[in-house]
Chain A
Amino acid sequence: MSQSNYRLIKTLLLIFLGIWLVFTLFPLYFMIITSLKPVEEINRMIPTFWPHTLKLSNYAGIFADPGSLKSLADSVIVSVANTALSLLLGTLAGYALARWIRGAAGENLAFWILSNRMFPPVAVIIPMFFLFDSMPWGTDSYFSLIVLYLVFNLPLATWLMMVFFRDAPRELEEAAYLDGFTPLRAFFRVTLPLVFPGMISVAMLCWIFAWNEYLFANLLTGTTVKTFPVHIPTFTLGSQSLWNLIMAFSLVAMLPPVILFIILRRYMVRGLSLGVVKG
């Protein structure tokens, strides 16, 4: 390929990437400027893409509102507890499926567990409501949401951890047995460190699901427990939506996943490619 052709392709690619970047980043930009506008400017028929007035009072309003703060706290409690449980149970189950339950039985069991993740949530939402309603802890509690999210996160965590454990060389565990480590000690000393990047990826996936989930949280909880996705629709005044507050609050709620992703990115990528590149 000639030099000029190469440059042409490179330029076209850059233009394409530029358009793509605008396409993906515009919603975020619009959220940010909306969160900084006064209500009057938002309600104009032709929206302003370059805001005339910017003010931080919307954010001040969010942080001064006990309801908003409590909803964020509720979300943290539910998502962190759910992630911890998913990871703990998923790791143990995934290890059992990868190493100790052999043959067709293991394959079928693993697929059955994953199939729980495949039905549409709407199909079970009504029975779930009645089921939780008949439980001593009721529907509107931390416990009900934490357990309910396990239905979706645990199969995913189990399946992914199983794949990571399968890719971890068995010989390393056997070498540890010959060194004199019992299976339990060998698991913690050798096998678990090998799948650690995978565990980080699984934790992120579980946590983001639990953090953002709206459908079940909206139906089951809302009074004693109110996660932030359920809290967002309450920013209304009569028939009017307070878009500035909604956007400000949503941006605050977006921060934890973004920050966590930046910190854990290194592990995420390694975890997701764990099956591809064996080390």
Chain B
Amino acid sequence: MARLELQQVCKGYDRPILDRLSLTVEEGEFFVIVGPSGIGKTTLLRCIAGLEVVDAGRVIFGGKDVTRVPPYRRNAAMTFESYALYPHMTVFENIASPLRARRMDEASVRKAVLEVARLLRIEPLLDRRPHEVSGGQKQRTALGRTLVAKPDVYLLDEPISHLDAKIRHELRRQFHTLQELRRVATVYVTHDYAEALSLGDRIGVMGDGGLVQVGSSRDVFERPNSIFVARHLGQPSINEVPCRLSSDGGLLMLRSLEGNLSFAMNGMQRALLEKARSDVLVGIRPQHIHVANAGSAAQVDNARVEAFEALGATGVLIAETDGVSLTVLTSPEEDFEPGQPVRLGFDVEQFLYFDAVHGRNLQA
């Protein structure tokens, strides 16, 4: 039982991947790292596990510096994206593996493995080989192997991304209820933002070189510190409208560079936007645009439907207005035909403003 600390960790191959990355995961904390593929999430896990030796910086488990300690003495458990189950051993032996490494006696091994198997509901499969069980069951076996080890640090690399939606949902719920995971420091890597928002006590969004933003689900989703983070969280993705500030008869207006969108700004936003002094990138989440009924107030009344997808629980409407394409979240009961005119309303209060050059959030 321990907290995990990374101090100024650097790791690179032909190019730098982790650049002075620091992170603390408390005992009992479920920390989710989310980021696009190929950004170095797995490399980070491998550095924590000891499979990669860091180029600089320190890795600390429970106050003990393990930077130079080989993986088999670190007491970290990791699930691999490929599951990495031993094909020549049964599910039972796969789960028992960490206990075999400690030369635990047979009775204790059996007891521990059965306990974990019951928890993960794979008891009937214990005598099978990995190639005889389904993807979800393989994943649970891999998870069982890490749970049985009772490590100081859990490392989970995309544990449920290759499973079909139904099993993914079930396993995601299981992660919430696994008390084992609530007693140690867990680092969970995923590229799926919904998984991250659902599971993480805290979330770290990874970009080039390291963590771009760390915070609670609410923090990173509602107050992204850069356009990179905003872009990566949320499906469908955030609308990005480059705008220019202008004064119109004493009223501060934001006008889009392309097309003909404009929004009136209130005082608070004015203070904020004055910091930018130039163009701003306005981020509008699809749920903050709505289709306005006839008669109600709308900022845009000349939009046309480009495409509409009804996705069961929601509908996604792509609307075009004066050359600006906007994604709008609607209710699935409504139906739209391509070419149909629509009126759009905006929740201006919910807009996010980013520096047009660096992408920083101007409110942060």
A positions within 8 Å CB-CB of B: 169, 171-172, 174-183, 185-186, 189-190, 193-194, 279
Contacts and interface: CB of A to CB of B under 8 A. Distances in A.
B98 interface: yes
Interface in B79-101: 80, 82, 84-88, 97-98, 100-101
B98 A180 contact: yes
4 smallest CB-CB distances across A and B, nearest first, come from A180-B101, A175-B84, A179-B98, A177-B71
Contacts of A174: 51, 71, 80, 84
B101 A179 contact: yes
Given A177-B50, A178-B76, A193-B88, 19 more contacts: A171-B80, A171-B84, A172-B86, A174-B84, A175-B97, A175-B145, A176-B101, A178-B71, A178-B74, A178-B98, A179-B72, A179-B97, A179-B100, A179-B101, A180-B102, A181-B97, A182-B72, A183-B72, A189-B100
A177 B78 CA distance: 10
Contact of A178 (B78, B86, B100): B78
Interface of B: 49-51, 70-78, 80, 82, 84-88, 97-98, 100-102, 131, 145, 149
A89 to B, nearest CB: 24
B70 A177 contact: yes
Nearest to B130: A279
Contacts of B51: 174, 177-178
Contacts of A171: 80, 82, 84
Main secondary structure of the interface of A (DSSP, over half): helix
Nearest to B73: A180
Nearest to B81: A171
B274 to A, nearest CB: 53
A165 to B, nearest CB: 15
Given A174-B51, A193-B88, A180 B72 contact: yes
Given A179-B101, A179-B149, A169 B72 contact: no
Contacts, number: 64
Which of the listed residues A177, A178, A186, A190 has the most CB atoms from chain B within 10 Å of its own CB? A178
Contact of A185 (B74, B80, B84, B101): B101
A178 B97 CA distance: 10
B108 to A, nearest CB: 15
Contacts of A182: 72
Given A171-B82, A180-B72, A194 B87 contact: yes
Which of the listed residues A172, A174, A180, A185 has the most CB atoms from chain B within 10 Å of its own CB? A180
B131 A178 contact: no
Contacts of A180: 72-73, 75, 98, 101-102, 149
A170 to B, nearest CB: 9
Contacts of B97: 175-176, 179, 181
A152 B97 CA distance: 39
Contacts of A279: 87, 131
A200 B75 CA distance: 36
A186 B84 CA distance: 14
Which of the listed residues B71, B77, B87, B131 has the most CB atoms from chain A within 10 Å of its own CB? B71
A139 B170 CA distance: 72
B291 to A, nearest CB: 49
A188 to B, nearest CB: 12
B304 to A, nearest CB: 51
A181 B101 CA distance: 5
B72 A181 contact: yes
Contacts of A172: 84, 86-87
24 contacts: A171-B80, A171-B82, A172-B84, A174-B51, A175-B84, A175-B85, A175-B86, A175-B97, A177-B70, A177-B71, A178-B49, A178-B51, A178-B74, A178-B76, A178-B78, A179-B72, A179-B98, A179-B101, A180-B73, A180-B101, A181-B97, A183-B72, A185-B101, A279-B87
B70 to A, nearest CB: 7
Nearest to A175: B84
